[in-house]
Structure 1
Amino acid sequence: MRAKLTKRINATAEDAWAAFNDWGGIWRFQPWVVRSPLLSQNNEGVGAKRRCEFVDKTSIVETITKIEDGRAVHLSLSEAPKPMKGGTSVIRLSPRGNATDVTVEMDIQLGMGPLGAIMGTLMMKPMMKKRVSLMLDSLEHHLKTGGKIDSKGVKHASPVAAGAVPA
């Protein structure tokens, strides 16, 4: 299953890159992530690995496989909740003056045969696009205020107030 979403945020590409490049810190702005402990010695660069622990008690492991400095980060996804088997993702940043177009591309491998393919098309793809859109809204909010938008769409003054705990 492939999904792609591009959204313009009112933040510089440098600020957006700094947030994405803090590999253990995605919990600060990702609405569904409550913790993102590092599983590698390095917090950035190829090979950096984290476990994103979600509000629903599931998790996924993300590993940086390639970096286009300041422009894109490529990820492999593993240890994913069912029906996902794993996959890849790319986050691309395109500066637009004081704004940035952020593109998130995902190629998700689903299990469960034909049923998984149907679930992917009808349920998961629209849900993932909605979640990525809210994540980017939360990133923009975080870069402006230091806060976070939670998984219900409520804006908070700080990520800890939104239920996140430091990695």
Structure 2
Amino acid sequence: MNEFTIEKLVGAPKAKVWEVAADIGRVELYHPMVEKSVCTTELQRGRGAARRCDFYDGKGHAEEVVTSWNEGTGFTLAVTRGTMPFKSAEATFTFTESGPEKTLARVTMRYRMKGGPLGTLLGKLMMTPMMKKMLGSVLDGLDVHCRTGKRIGHKGVVLDA
């Protein structure tokens, strides 16, 4: 299992960051690779809520379900289906107040690649750096969206609200 953590200081109060991140069906507002996202369960928040994310490339997608939920502080999403080369994957998002108008957003990603030992090696050499970069851009998008209310488009382009 590969694991890494990234973090970013978001320039918004924790309540605002939580409000945005906890709306799991609207991740397209700040995720620079997700063109469209939709909640796929009646449950919109909390353990068991699920979403589908369609990527800008027109081919890729991910289906995810919330496996843990700590109201106001964080949640874990597990990838259940999709076009990514994972045998299993989950990401834990946590949010900690870090002064006035500041929130420390942290993502811990855990994943196992398809392809046995070769997949594991490729995961460490190639996928981890790519995922760190991608999740860093997600946290950058979360920061900009929380501060401005503007949607983050493909490759991080800031769009009109």
TM-score higher than 0.5 = yes
Answer whether contact 1:80 1:86 (CA < 8 A) is retained.
no
Q: Counterpart of 1:64 in structure 2: which amino acid?
A: V
Answer whether contact 2:31 2:141 (CA < 8 A) is retained.
yes
Of 139, 144, 152, the residue aligned with 2:142 is 139
Write out the 4+ residue segments of structure 1 that deviate beyond 6 Å after TM superposition: none
Q: What residue in structure 2 maps to residue 88 of structure 1?
A: 90
Counterparts of residues 1-167 of structure 1 (less than 5 Å):
1-56=2-57, 57-97=59-99, 98-158=101-161
Unmatched 5+ stretches in structure 2: none
Cα deviation 1:30-53 (Å, max 9, x = unaligned): 111111122111111111000111
What's the Cα RMSD here?
A: 1.4
Answer whether contact 1:11 1:99 (CA < 8 A) is retained.
yes
Q: Distance in 2 between matches of 1:140 and 1:117?
A: 32
Q: Distance in 2 between matches of 1:83 and 1:121?
A: 13
Q: Distance in 2 between matches of 1:151 and 1:123?
A: 22
Per mean C-alpha deviation after superposition, the further-off stretch among 142-151 and 10-19 is 142-151
Q: Secondary structure at the match of 2:87?
A: strand
Task: Report the Cα offset of residue 156 of structure 1.
Answer: 2.2
Q: Distance in 2 between matches of 1:152 and 1:45?
A: 29
Q: Distance in 1 between matches of 2:24 and 2:136?
A: 20
Q: Secondary structure at the match of 1:36?
A: strand
Answer whether contact 1:79 1:85 (CA < 8 A) is retained.
no
